[in-house]
Amino acid sequence: MSDRLIAAAAAAGIGMTILPVVYRAGGFGGAALSERQRRFAPDEDAFAELYERLARRHRNDPNVRVGIAPHSLRAVPPDQLARAVELARKLDATAPIHIHVSEQPKEVAECRAWSGTTPIAWLADNAPVDEAWCLVHATHATPEEVATMAHRRAVVGLCPTTEANLGDGIFSLPEFLALGGGWGIGTDSNVCTSPVEELRWLEYGLRLTRGRRNVAAKAAGGSTGAFLFDRAVDGGARACARKVGKLAPGWRADFVVLDAEHPALSARDGEAILDSWLFAGNSNPVRDVVVGGEWAVREGHHRHEDQARADYVKALGRLRS
C-alpha cells in the first residue's frame, strides 16, 4: 500500500510525506486488538522492515519524505513506542513523527486510569517530543500542556472538520498562539480534503466559542485570512518535514496561482485576497499548481485529469463486479 500511495502521489504531482502507522493494541496498557483492528497491526518485525525499506529507497528522492505515525498511546504500548521512535531516528534524525493525543475526554480519562496522567503529559515525561513531532488534535489539552507543546516546539495538527464531525471539541488555539506555538491543518477522516474549508472551520469554531470575530488575526484590524494561511503553511511544512512555503533558493518550488479575474477576488489586492479566498464561499479560484518546479495544474485542469477519470471509472466498475 505504501508503494501504491507513493506511485499515486507521483502521478498526481504531490510531494509525499508518508508515515507508516504503528498500531499494536486495542486500548491503554496493551489491551488486545479487536477482530476489526487486527488489519491495522503488522508485527514489529514487519513494521521495521517496511520502514527501513521505504526510508532507504527514498532517502535521496526529493518528492518523498518518510517518517512514522504511532497511532496513539492507547494503540501503542510504551515499549513499542520507544522502539518505533528509535528506529525512525536511527535512519533519519529529523524524521517526522505524528501521534494522536487528547482527542476526546474518554481517551484522557482512560489514560489517567492507566498511567495517572494525561496523554500529552505522559509523552512530555517519557518521549523525546521536539520540533519533529506533530501532536494531532490535542483538543483537550490543559493550559499547562498547551505551554509544554509550545515550549517543545511540537506542531499541533488540527483537523477541524473531522473534530466537528466527531464532536471532539475545539483546541485552545489563541492561548497556543500567544506562546508562539506552531500548528498545521489536515484531515483525519477524508470527509473533507479542502484546506480552505479546514481553515474556515477553524476560525468559525473559535468565533462561536469565544463570542467575537477575527480570533486568529495577527493584530487588531489585521487580515485573518493571511494569518491563518501563513501559519498553516509554516506548520504544515514543519509537520511534513519539507522545505516548502517560501519562494526562495533552496526551497521546493511548490505553489499555487490564484485567478485574479475570479469573481471572489475581484477588486481585491494584498492580504485581502487571502481573506476572500478563505471566507467568500466555496468556489475555487486556484488556477495553476506547481509542485517541485513542475506544472501539475494549468488553467484549472490537471495534466492527467482525463486519463485519471477514465482509470477511476474503470477501477470502480471492476470492484463493483
Q: Which amino acid is at 157?
A: G
Supply the pLDDT for residue 280. 87
Task: Spell out the residues 6+ positions from residue 91 whose beta carbon is closer than 8 angstroms to its own.
Answer: 51, 52, 55, 56
> Is 141 within 8 Å of 122 (Cβ atoms)?
no
**Residue 101: enclosing H or E segment and its boundaries?**
strand 97-101
Indicate the pLDDT class of residue 193, thresholds 50, 70 and 90: confident
Query: Residue 302 catalytic?
Result: no
- Residue tagged active-site, from 100, 140, 168, 188: 188
CA distance 304 to 159: 29
CB 141 within 8 A of CB 173: no
The pLDDT value given to residue 253:
95
Can 188 be counted among the known catalytic residues? yes
Summarize the confidence of residues 95-111 as an average pLDDT: 97
The predicted structure's pLDDT at residue 70: 97
Give the mean pLDDT of 188-193: 82
pLDDT at 222: 85
How much is the average pLDDT of 300-320? 95
CA distances from 18 to 137, 159, 208, 254 (A): 19, 18, 35, 18
DSSP 34: P
Band (pLDDT 50/70/90 cuts) for residue 283 is confident
| Global pTM value | 0.94
pLDDT at 95 over 80: yes
- Tens digit of pLDDT for each residue in 151-171? 999 999 999 999 999 999 999
Q: One of 71, 137, 140, 262 is an active-site residue; which one?
A: 137
